Amino acid sequence: MMRLPKFEYRVPRTIAEALQIVTDVGAEAQFVAGGTDLYPNMKRRQQMPKTVISVMRLPELHRVSGVGSRGLVIGASVTLTELCENEIIRRDYPVIASAARTISTPILRNMGTIGGNLLLDTRCNYYDQNYEWRKAINFCLKKDGDVCWVAPGSAKCWAVQSSDLVPVMVAVGAKFRVVSAAGERMVEARDFYKDDGIDYMNKRPDELLVDVHLPPTNGWRASYQKLRRRGAFDFPVLGVAAYVRFDTSAVDEAPGPAVADAQIVLGGIAPSPVQVKEAAKALIGKSLGDDQIQAAAEAAYVKARPLDNTDFVYQWRKQMARQYTIRALRDLIM
């Protein structure tokens, strides 16, 4: 049985108190929400904070406010189950509820939060193992070692961004509000993730994620399609988020309104979400017909370069980028 290492557990009641603790403790501190990612990582000795600061008693982080026509703000400690069940999210942002519903299991969704999901550690077959397993291969670049077993000549870690909500947030243009003792900043989801399996976020450890800001739903639709081995629960080994905003004032020669804006974002295949700009180009200005969907799917296939560090054969996951893009876009046809 894997046991947690010893640590001090702090439960602040205000954001100011949480920031004071993290400032006082420094690099040895780490925030925790539901703990469904952090605690297994601590048991595997991948992350070893001496002080763990719960964000579950901070009232601001539990709020959901707004509505589709104005935009929605979701507190970082809102659980995945709450995301699935919230009536406004289900009605105005169904893609968020449906993507959350694909995450892990009902019990883990009761504990796991939106914030923890967006800040999930990157994953790799050579890293998500217990301490003894990793020691037997002399560890790897991401923790305690000096070689990457996936790409031995590489100076970079290729561990995979494996959150189901991240590609969706990038596709729909969400923003994240983070605070620290130094102040507050708002970061676009698309600028928040870095293509490096070790240094994978534009967020300092002392910064607290307070909430997620979703844009108004002014005519856009979005869909998320997930590839995993077991439908009941498993991390994505490919996730495709498709976002389309229709221009209802201009109609193409084909039936249906023209696409005014589009995003195709791939998750589960690289250290950061992959925006397929060529796919968006193939869609904008035309109606969402078979030829456009096929062209966008081809662009996703070309851009997808999964590595051999998660489940399934990576060449097959690349093929699936095409199929899952088709699936996501067909889901958006009105």
Ligand X SMILES: Cc1cc2nc3c(=O)[nH]c(=O)nc-3n(C[C@H](O)[C@H](O)[C@H](O)COP(=O)(O)OP(=O)(O)OC[C@H]3O[C@@H](n4cnc5c(N)ncnc54)[C@H](O)[C@@H]3O)c2cc1C
Site for ligand X, rule CB under 6 A: 30-38, 40, 55, 76, 80, 103-104, 108, 111-113, 115-117, 119-120, 163-164, 208-209, 233-235
Residue 154: other Cβ atoms inside 10 A: 12
- Name which position in 93, 126, 246, 314 contacts ligand SF4 (CB under 6 A): 126
Q: Which residues pair with 65 in a beta bridge?
A: 73
Q: How far apart are CA 245 and CA 243, in angstroms?
A: 7
**Residue linked to tokens 């001496």:** 50
Question: Which span (56-64, 90-98, 145-153, 177-185) binds ligand SF4, by CB under 6 A?
Answer: 145-153
> Taking CB under 6 A as the rule, does residue 149 contact ligand SF4?
yes
> Taking CB under 6 A as the rule, does residue 309 contact ligand SF4?
yes
Question: Which span (55-63, 143-151, 210-218, 315-323) binds ligand SF4, by CB under 6 A?
Answer: 143-151
112 binding partner (options ligand X, ligand SF4, none; Cβ < 5 to 8 Å by kind): ligand X
Q: Write the CB contacts of 28 (distance below 8 Å, at least 6 apart in sequence).
A: 49, 50, 51
Question: Which span (58-66, 69-77, 154-162, 279-287) binds ligand SF4, by CB under 6 A?
Answer: 154-162
Q: Which residues pair with 213 in a beta bridge?
A: 73, 175
> Taking CB under 6 A as the rule, does residue 127 contact ligand SF4?
yes
The residue among 46, 184, 127 whose CA lies nearest residue 307 is: 127
Long-range pairs, 127-135, Cβ under 8 A, ≥24: 127/46, 127/159, 128/44, 129/44, 130/2, 130/43, 130/44, 130/45, 131/44, 131/45, 134/44
> Please, what is the minimum distance in Å from the beta carbon of residue 149 to ligand X?
23
Q: Which is nearer to ligand SF4, 102 or 161 (CB)?
A: 161
* Chain residue whose CB lies nearest ligand X: 116
How many binding residues for ligand SF4 (CB under 6 A)?
14
In eight-state DSSP terms, residue 53 is: E
Binding site for ligand SF4 (CB under 6 A): 124, 126-127, 140-142, 148-150, 157-159, 197, 309
